[in-house]
């Protein structure tokens, strides 16, 4: 593995241990990383993380230019906001620090610029915040990391450890689903990782998936996709059944 890719993987693993998969870059857990900014930007390009940004340069958008051509009495903005937009349009391209006015503090100016950006009145070039920058795993990053962890889990699993034991039947798996649901109190919405833990020495991942699919074909269970992932760890999410056409199947409902 390329050393830079190894650093990125380590960074993702550190991040997934943080509360809600997000942390300030000044967090001690990132102390060992020499090029945190570069790692964040590289991972963000692939959609695996995102981070808090600051505006470096602003430019007028076509919408912002058109707005200033409207008769003054019909403008939806006025006062200091109007003057700020006029300066941006006149300059074509300008750094926020150059948009100085006695009536606005820097934080107030930044709030207005963000409002302009949200309304499509300006365009902006951004970068990772230099102070108090936060970084977080995106949903895509969570699933990618879960898939990596799952691959390591498969590599650790040896066929010899399960070959000599009797395989559970579909009926037995169904009974275990109901028992686990009662034990963990999941209200007939059992996360699949509980079932994988139960059968990890008896069934391979593919074997358990096939039994679940067969139970579904028999109209005995339903496999439901996960939408909100923040309540589960990357390792728990890795237990989901990956599909090509929809979100990973994570919950089991007995019919």
Low-confidence ranges of the chain (pLDDT < 50): 161-162
In the chain, domain spans: 3-52+132-137, 55-128, 139-254
Please tell me the pTM assigned to this model. 0.55
Write the class of the CATH domain 3-52+132-137. Answer: mainly alpha
- Residue/partner pairs of 61-65 with CB below 8 Å, 24 or more apart: 61/120, 61/121, 61/122, 61/123, 63/119, 63/120, 63/121, 64/88, 64/89, 64/116, 64/120, 64/121, 64/122, 65/89
Segment 139-174, tens digit of pLDDT? 888 888 888 887 776 666 555 544 555 788 999 999
Rounded Cα–Cα distance for residues 112 and 118 (Å): 10
pLDDT confidence of residue 244: 78
């Amino acid at each position: 593995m390329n050393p830079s890719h190894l650093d990125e993987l380590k960074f993702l693993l550190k991040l997934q241990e943080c509360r809600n998969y997000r942390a300030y870059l000044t967090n001690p857990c990132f102390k060992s990383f020499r090029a945190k900014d570069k790692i964040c930007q590289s991972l963000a390009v692939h959609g695996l993380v995102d981070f808090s940004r600051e505006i470096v340069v602003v430019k007028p958008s076509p919408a912002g230019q058109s707005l200033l051509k409207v008769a003054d009495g019909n403008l939806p903005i006025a006062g200091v906001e109007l003057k700020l937009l006029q300066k941006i349009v006149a300059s074509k391209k300008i750094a926020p620090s150059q948009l100085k006015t006695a009536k606005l503090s820097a934080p107030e100016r930044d709030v207005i610029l963000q409002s302009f950006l949200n309304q499509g009145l300006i365009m902006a070039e951004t970068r990772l915040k230099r102070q108090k920058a936060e970084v977080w795993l995106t949903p895509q990053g969570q699933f990618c990391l879960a898939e990596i962890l799952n691959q390591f889990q498969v590599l650790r699993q040896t066929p010899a450890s399960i070959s000599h034991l009797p395989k559970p039947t579909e009926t037995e798996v169904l009974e275990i689903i109901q028992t686990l649901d009662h034990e963990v109190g999941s209200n007939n919405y059992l996360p699949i990782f509980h079932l994988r833990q139960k059968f990890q020495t008896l069934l391979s991942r593919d074997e358990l998936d096939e039994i679940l699919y067969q139970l579904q074909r028999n109209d005995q269970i339903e496999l439901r996709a996960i939408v909100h992932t923040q309540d589960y760890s990357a390792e728990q999410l890795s237990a989901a059944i990956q599909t090509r056409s929809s979100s990973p199947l994570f919950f089991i409902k007995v019919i």
